[in-house]
Amino acid sequence: MTPIELGRIIRHTREGLKLRQDQLAGAAGVGVRFIGELEAGKPTTQIGKALAVLDALGCRVLIETPPAPDTAR
């Protein structure tokens, strides 16, 4: 996933919930400017704030780790 893809998901979800950027910003405890930059895919946005926005939208983040290397050789 890229910052642009994440921004699109956030924008699509926000719009689907009929929220304005300022409403989402208030719910997540971030500024409206941050929401705009996040939705635009700014690659240097703060991960903590991005996670707060995702939480405010009701989104879950799933991280799939690679399998452990086989050490029984």
Q: Taking the CB of residue 56, how many other CB atoms lie within 10 A of it?
A: 20
- Banded pLDDT at 54 (limits 50, 70, 90): very high
pTM: 0.87
Tell me what the pLDDT averaged over the chain comes to.
95
Distance of alpha carbon 12 from its chain centroid, rounded? 11
66 pLDDT more than 70? yes
DSSP character at residue 15: H
73 pLDDT more than 90? no
Residue ranges of domains in the chain, CATH in brackets: 3-57 (1.10.260.40)
State how far the Cα of 11 lies from the Cα of 30, in Å rounded to an integer: 15
